[in-house]
Chain A
Amino acid sequence: MNSIYAPPFKEKSDNFAGLDVHAGIALFLSREAEAADSRNYVDWLRLVDENFTYRIPVPRTPDNPFAPHYDARALLIDESRWSLETQWFSRFDKKMYETSWAENPPVRFRHFVSNVRVRLVENESLLDVRSNVLLIGTRQSDAPKFISAERFDAVGVKGDSYTLVERWAVLDQSVIDFPQLRIML
């Protein structure tokens, strides 16, 4: 029996958050992208919940225009905060990076985050945050390549501060042409 993965929120409401919350979330997403692009993983982890999960379903071209352009039974990426911290970010540790061949030199990543939509959900400690992302990756001195995606985030709210609780990203390319598939969208 195939298990089915899913984005954080099933329903898409019209209950948008106010402009102040939108501005706060846009700043939060920009800070997160800044930390990721500069490989400042200590800062990045500060923005992320203890139980954070990050998944990308396998993109595909479906046979009808109403079906999603991904297959929720299969994943390209399935990570947790633990796996990101120990298996992704450790590769940049001073004692390890010399044999982290794919990160030495690292692919330069640049996030362009836009079209941020923040929706209120029943659970008041969470926000349904959707955004578009264009990720440009430059390997060594090669020409840059790009990948575009729609992100579906669950963002945790505690007073004035936010944490990333869950990220589900849907890629637009079904045959992915990018310098490296270890991508933090």
Chain B
Amino acid sequence: MSISESETPLSVSRRSWGDEEVFAEEIKRIFSKTWQFVAHESEMPEPGDYVQRKMGLDRVIVIRSEDGVVRVFLNSCRHRGVPLCRADEGNTSHFRCSYHGWTYANTGELRGVTYQPDVYGKNGIDKSTLGLYEPAQVDTFMGLVFANWDPDAIPLNEYLGDLKWYLHAILGKFDGGMEVVGTPVRNIVQANWKTEGENLSGDGYHTMVTHATAVELGLFATTADLEKLTENLKPRFSGRTVDCGNGHTIRVQRLPVEIDENMYWGYPAYMWESFDRNLDKGQQEMMSALSVTHGSIFPNASFLENFKTNVDGPDLHARYIRFTVRYPISATQCEVVWFLFRPKEADPVWNRLSSLAYLRTNGPSGVFEIDDAENFVGISEASVGAIARELDVTYLGGLNHPQTTESVGWPGRVVDGDKTERTLRAFHRQWAEFMGAESRVVS
């Protein structure tokens, strides 16, 4: 099956957004072969703490075992396949199957087989071969837990590659580290799982159209807001996009200001000194006067750090950090999981403002998200027909943007300009590589 068939060199077939055959291939070729974000370590602070998540269509348990190690298990008894865990989160030392009572330790070992001598004879079953099924590889980066079913996949460290420097700038600037704020929200979106991911990969082109009202409502820094922060304004926002390889990309947009020292607006002043200490010069440049940065971790996770203005009244501005993951359900449906992060050392007043900055803009019911979702849902709705599916989407944006000089000090392939489709091309190139489709998408 040719999946990204296309007459033009910068397009991808719209089958990709609504075809169940393509979807079935994605589940096999992408979701059983790639590193996927499953949880953050702060969600499981104590031994026995667990959360239930998904990798592709498979439900998994992410648990901190008695020995302190975070493990990932397929949520399914090795006997007859019944799920062992029915809750979204909790704490347990063991999992006991409701069907025949097989019992597993939270390290995954099969400890008890009910009526074993009667059913299997004295040595009729080798429990050591029937522990909970685990991904071939589990690893963490800055507390982010990833898992991969493929034993031959490159290690996580290598897979994330140049993206690690950017993730460090986002998550690693705080002295006390980060934690996820409570249970993540989950919702069903009638859109293909790729749609939001390619947007968050670095689409700085849609902002002023899709989010026109959010800008008008004063939630996105205006000249009037910035004049209160500094005297030296520039006429336009500036931005860069970065191709980090392996389908990972990021966009960084800077506020239109001319400043001599680092200004981490949106964070309380007591944190600023630690940012200078914990970030290198290039990361400081990225985080100082930041408007927004977002990117996608191939295949289905995205991150966002954002400076939002007037969120709870005039001049009440804050940044927040959000991760989202999209679990595929069908070609036209996915489940979105929303993680709000916060610095452990933050004071309650700022925490609340940061939470409002998130919830009222890019939270599940925020004004940015509800307008985005209409586009995402619409793409799938309009791509399932016999005619539409044979057409291509167009990814020509940003081909004219110049490569930055190496002196910028940012890893990856960095380009000046963020009204672009460059990051989307990088996503679909990687997609085509896993799908075995001839990729006609160029960077």
Chain A interfacial positions (CB closer than 8 Å to B): 1-3, 58, 60-64, 70-80, 82-83, 86-87, 90-91, 96, 99-102, 174-178, 180-183
Contacts and interface: CB of A to CB of B under 8 A. Distances in A.
Contacts of B184: 58, 74
Contacts of A60: 87-89, 183
A100 B216 CA distance: 11
Contacts of A80: 312
Interface of B: 86-92, 181-188, 209-210, 212-213, 216-217, 219, 311-313, 335, 340, 348, 351-352, 355-356, 359-360, 363-367, 369-371, 373-375
**Chain A, interface SS category:** mixed
B388 to A, nearest CB: 18
Contacts of B91: 63
Given A63-B90, A76-B364, A177 B219 contact: no
Contacts of A62: 87-90
B217 A86 contact: yes
B373 to A, nearest CB: 7
A83 B312 contact: yes
Given A3-B352, A76-B365, A181-B364, 19 more contacts: A58-B182, A58-B184, A60-B87, A60-B89, A60-B183, A62-B87, A62-B89, A63-B87, A63-B90, A63-B91, A74-B185, A74-B340, A76-B185, A77-B359, A78-B359, A102-B373, A175-B187, A180-B365, A181-B369
Contacts, number: 113
Contacts of A183: 365
A175 B355 contact: no
A75 B359 CA distance: 8
A71 B340 CA distance: 14
Contacts of A72: 182
A75 to B, nearest CB: 6
Contacts of B209: 99
Given A73-B181, A79-B360, A99 B213 contact: yes
A87 B184 CA distance: 24
Given A83-B360, A175-B187, A61 B88 contact: yes
A74 B188 contact: no
A176 B186 contact: yes
Contacts of B356: 78, 83
A100 B188 contact: no
Nearest to A145: B188
A109 B323 CA distance: 29
B186 A175 contact: yes
A101 B87 CA distance: 36
A181 B219 contact: no
A61 B210 CA distance: 34
Q: Considering residues B219, B370, B375, which has the most beta carbons from chain A within 10 angstroms of its beta carbon?
A: B370
Contacts of B183: 58, 60, 70-71, 73-74
B373 A180 contact: yes
B52 to A, nearest CB: 8
A102 B312 CA distance: 22
Given A58-B183, A96-B216, A82 B92 contact: no
22 contacts: A2-B181, A63-B89, A71-B182, A71-B183, A74-B185, A76-B365, A78-B359, A78-B360, A82-B313, A83-B311, A87-B217, A87-B360, A90-B217, A101-B375, A102-B374, A175-B186, A176-B187, A176-B188, A177-B187, A177-B188, A181-B365, A181-B370
